[in-house]
Amino acid sequence: MPLHIETRKVQKTGGSSYIISLPKVWIDKHGVENHDTLGILSQPDGNLLITPQIDTEKMIKIKEIIVDDYKDDNYLFRILIGVYIMGFSKIIIKSSRKFEPFIRDCITNFTQIAIGPEIVEESSNIITIKDLLNPTEMPFEKTIKRMYILVHDMHEDAIRAFETGDTELAKEVIKRDNDVDRLLWLIGRQSHVVLRDIILCQKMGITLEQASHYHSMSKFLERIGDHAVRIAKNFILIDYKKIDKDLIKDILKASKISLDLLDKSLDAWLQKSIMLANENIESIKDLIANTEKITFDTTISAELSIAIGYIIESIRRTGEYAGDISEIIINNLV
């Protein structure tokens, strides 16, 4: 069905005012009455946005979840995260009977991990969660910077644990994975919120294209965090004393190149430099060459060999994801 665009003639009234009539179907649909105030917002592309919702941040988007047939707390947690990311401001969880303990534990865990949601009402079979975060208080740039710092430190600490044999440090890296996930979910939520609310998008000082780019960047940063966790987990599985010292040096060298790629992608973003982003992409060749040159004694145990292989692969993937972020930066700046 082709798009039908209604047209209206502009009429001049008074000395400097121009008016157009509004479609009756639209007026009726939104319940607009005589003397009501409408919001008018100029768009960067020259269009005008006319909305009956002047204060869109106070709009409540409600999702109701019936948990009678839920037997798996992991499933419920994924549903709650999905609802959160899709931008619902109120979640009402109901059961025809008293909540099972695992349901309550899952809901509590969700509110402790996700940024913003809090339990505001609770009974034996109904729990209401409301998002208390003002989106403008957590701008995309601030969240992306936090993710950069988190994943950089996670990778650095995972490699330091590998270098020094510090198992406790490796375990600490694994614990930090939740911190990265919650920021990823926040950016996903913010992205969906601004997609349906162009007024909020402009209040936050970004375009829809920028929101999309930030969302993509956050996904790559989260994967870099996952690879830091993978390095830490594989280190814990191996006997540190059996690792050849020359092998450790080679892995440290590759890791430094990988972290340099991550840092340069941040610099390219902060400096809004297409040239720096492009140079960073070209530098991935050095990382790949260094990881491919890393060799180790094939007579060691299969478990150690596999773990070392995974660590080297995660170092390479970290640098490649930094290159992917640089590509997003170029696309955004172009």
- 162-184 per-position pLDDT tens digit: 999 999 999 999 999 999 999 99
User: Can you read off the two tokens belonging to residue 241?
Assistant: 């004393």
State how far the Cα of 320 lies from the Cα of 281, in Å rounded to an integer: 8
Q: Which of 40-54, 109-123, 126-140, 243-257 has the lowest mean pLDDT?
A: 40-54
99-105: average pLDDT? 94
The predicted pLDDT at position 326 comes to 97
In sequence order, what are the residues at sequence separation of 6 or more whose Cβ sits closer than 8 angstroms to the Cβ of residue 110?
77, 80, 81, 84, 117, 129
Characterise 86 by phi-psi region: left (phi > 0), alpha (psi -120 to 50), beta (else).
alpha
pTM of the model: 0.83
The predicted pLDDT at position 52 comes to 67
Q: Which of 77-91, 99-113, 188-202, 313-327 has the lowest mean pLDDT?
A: 188-202
The predicted pLDDT at position 254 comes to 97
57-77: average pLDDT? 86
The predicted pLDDT at position 46 comes to 65
Neighbours of 261 (CB within 10 A): 23
Mean pLDDT of the chain: 89
Radius of gyration (Cα) for the chain, nearest Å? 26
Which strand (E) or helix (H) includes residue 19? strand 17-19
Interval 280-300: pLDDT, tens? 999 999 999 999 998 877 667
State how far the Cα of 159 lies from the Cα of 224, in Å rounded to an integer: 13
Name the residue among 225, 128, 212 with its Cα closest to residue 176: 225
Delineate the domains of the chain, giving CATH numbers in brackets: 11-54 (no CATH), 58-134 (3.30.110.20), 136-333 (1.20.58.220)
CA-to-CA dists, residue 39 to 9, 10, 51, angstroms: 20, 19, 5
296-325: average pLDDT? 89
The predicted pLDDT at position 298 comes to 62
